Structure formats: C-alpha cells, structure tokens
C-alpha cells in the first residue's frame, strides 16, 4: 500500500496525502511516511530447550503491542501560525493515562486503534521549500494490536418463548359448522393466521475483519440466573437482576460489573470467556459468525434480554 495514500487523523490532527487541504488556521498537514499500522506486531512466544534433545518447546505466541511511527510535514505562510502549529504537535498525547484514536480512512473503510505516545516528538524546520514549513515525526504504541472499524454494532436477543399461537384444526368458527381451517366468507382479509412471532433467544454476530473481536455483553433484568451460550461455551450469572438492573460482561478484560460499576466477577460461573469472541472473516470475504443464546431459570414470560456491542477487527 503506497505511503501517504490515505487521510489520517490523530486526536485533533488531520493529515492528507497531498497539500490541497488546509485547516482552519491555514496550515497544510501532509503525511509523508507511516510504518507499523499496516504491518503486524510480533508475538510474545517463548522457547525453552529440550532436555537431551534437539530443538525447543514453544509457548503460545500472542501478538504483542502495535508500534507505529508517523512522519509528516506542515506548511503555512505565516510564521506565527506555523510556530503555533509546531507547539500543537509537540503537545500531542501529553496525558499518559488517556489514549487518542489514530484512524486511517482506507479502502477497507475507516480503521482505528487507541494509541499512547511511545517516544519523543521531533520537529525540524524545512530549509528548501516554497513556503515556510517543518517536518515532524512521532512514535506511538497501541497496547491492543487490533485495528477496529469506527462503526459499532449492537445486537439484541430476548428470552426464548412460545406464545402458543398457531393453526387450530379443532376449533369451530361461526358460521362454519365444521372443524378445520376457516377462510371466511368472501372477505379479502380472511385466511391463515399463524399467531405472533416467537423469540428464538439467539442473536447472530458477524465480523468482517481479519482478526477475532470480542463483544461486550450486557444483561438486562428481569432475569434469574441468566445463561449465555455460544456453541460449547457458557457464561452463567448466578444472581437475580430486577427490572431496571443490568450487568456488563467484558470477556476481553475480563470483568463483570453490576450497573457498570460494582464488581460481580465472583457471580459468573462458569465463565468460559474465550468462547465468546467472534471469529475472523474467511479469506474469501465471508464474515465470521457467532451465535449467542440467552436462557434463565425464571419465568418464560420475563422481559429480560441481552445486548452485544462490538466492532469488526483487523490485524
């Protein structure tokens, strides 16, 4: 992929592949080089020697943090404006506790990752240019190596239920005196009535990216000992949620928070977190799919439900 071929944003900074666009202060921001965003991080696999044998044993290798370096240029006719632009660049990512979003608007869509400053920021005046300018470079790190779609998806599943509706072959409907299906007498709106739609209790989650992605699940009461299932994996919350109460389950953390704040990790058992990630898409383009179901030990008529919030992910 050619360097500088896309529009990039980092916090307040927007960088374009050419100099046709200026910000509100009249500064042109051009990205000239990027490294690390479109690559893949290494793994943290470790090796230990075999005893009295050739070779070594290898531990599972999970991808490490993603390190990204950006180089760009800024141009402005006014030296005071240019100096302020330089000061703004040097102040990027100054809060060590708060990441900023680095986003690339690419052919795959807008992909983003949360980054922290990883090294010094350098600004160097440009000597031979058509107008005053400087070159800047910075290195950032994303603790989570995945790149995510900026679009969040939300899916919902309620408790499974059968309303009891359907075809009744034994009922006699006047003025027909016989049992069986009654289609009415000349009315356009008569016919078969299958009753109300039943809830399956399942939701279908899809991921169009090349990396697995883990949704955040939220259970909303009323629910009694609710159970989430995904193929052979299970998460059971051993407690009761009243109407208006909810518990947030993040398998990636992992964490279980009642009301989004109170820790209730001890109430989740079994807690097979790894089974609740959506697999990556196939290399031919078919999305990764995960079906997640909700049941509980309370009344089938309870109105509790679960939501899953997630984004497609790429490595």
Torsion over CA: 59, 65, 66, 70 (sign):
negative
**Residue 87 CB partners (closer than 8 Å, separation 6+):** none
**Domain architecture of the chain: domains with CATH:** 7-48+57-149 (2.40.30.200), 153-161+201-314 (2.60.120), 164-198 (no CATH)
DSSP one-letter code for 204: E
pLDDT for position 4: 42
The Cα 86–Cα 234 span in angstroms is: 53
Question: What is the model's pLDDT at position 167?
Answer: 56
> DSSP string spanning 66-125?
EEEEEEEEEE-SSHHHHHHHHHHHHTTT--TT--EEEEEEETTEEEEEEEEE-S--EEEE
Q: For 22-34, what is each residue's pLDDT tens digit?
A: 999 999 999 999 9
pLDDT at 282 (0 to 100): 94
Mean pLDDT of the chain: 89
Would you state the pLDDT for residue 129? 72
Is the model's pLDDT at 110 over the cut of 90?
A: yes
First vs last Cα of the chain: how many Å apart?
Answer: 15
pTM recorded for the entire structure: 0.82
- Between residues 18 and 63, which one has the greater pLDDT? 63
pLDDT higher than 80, residue 243: yes
Q: Output the pLDDT for position 1.
A: 41
pLDDT band at 128 (very low <50, low <70, confident <90, very high): confident
| Tokens read off for 182 | 């009654």
60 confidence band (pLDDT: 50, 70, 90):
very high
For residues 130 and 104, the model is more confident at: 104
Mean pLDDT across 178-199: 54
Q: What's the pLDDT tens digit per position in 252-283?
A: 999 999 999 999 999 999 999 999 999 999 98
Span 281-296, average pLDDT: 94
What gap in Å lies between CA 216 and CA 274, rounded to an integer?
13
pLDDT at res. 179: 53
Taking 60 as the threshold, does the pLDDT of residue 180 lie above it?
A: no
Instruction: Give ∠ CA 105-18-22 in degrees, rounded to 5.
Output: 90
Q: Which two tokens stand for residue 176?
A: 């027909």
The pLDDT of residue 64: 96
Tell me which of 65-69, 130-134, 304-308 is least confident.
130-134
């Amino acid at each position: 992929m050619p360097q500088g071929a896309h529009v990039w944003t980092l916090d307040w900074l927007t960088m374009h592949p050419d100099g046709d666009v200026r910000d509100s202060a009249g500064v042109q921001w051009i990205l000239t080089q990027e490294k690390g965003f479109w690559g893949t991080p290494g793994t943290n696999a470790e090796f230990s020697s075999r005893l009295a044998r050739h070779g070594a044993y290898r531990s599972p290798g999970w991808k490490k943090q993603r390190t990204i370096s950006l180089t760009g240029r800024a141009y402005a006719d006014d030296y005071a404006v240019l100096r302020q632009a330089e000061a703004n660049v040097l102040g990027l990512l100054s809060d060590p506790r708060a990441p900023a979003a680095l986003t690339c608007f690419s052919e795959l869509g807008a992909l983003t990752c949360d980054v922290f400053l990883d090294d010094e920021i350098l600004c160097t005046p440009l000597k031979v240019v058509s107008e005053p300018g400087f070159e800047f470079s910075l290195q950032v790190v994303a603790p989570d190596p995945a790149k995510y779609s900026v679009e969040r998806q939300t899916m919902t599943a309620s408790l499974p239920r059968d309303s009891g509706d359907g075809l009744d072959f034994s009922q006699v409907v006047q003025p027909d005196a016989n049992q069986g299906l009654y289609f009415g007498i000349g009315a356009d709106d008569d016919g078969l009535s299958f009753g109300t739609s039943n809830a399956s209790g399942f939701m279908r989650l899809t991921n169009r990216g090349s990396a697995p992605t883990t949704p955040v699940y939220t259970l909303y009461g009323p629910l009694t000992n609710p159970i989430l299932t995904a193929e052979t994996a299970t998460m059971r919350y051993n407690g009761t949620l009243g109407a208006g109460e909810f518990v947030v389950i993040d398998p990636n953390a992992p964490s279980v928070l009642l009301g989004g704040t109170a820790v209730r990790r001890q109430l989740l058992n079994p807690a097979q977190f790894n089974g609740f990630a959506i697999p990556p898409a196939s290399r031919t383009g078919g999305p990764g799919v995960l079906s997640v179901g909700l049941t509980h030990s309370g009344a089938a008529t309870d109105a509790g439900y679960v939501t899953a919030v997630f984004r497609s992910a790429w490595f």
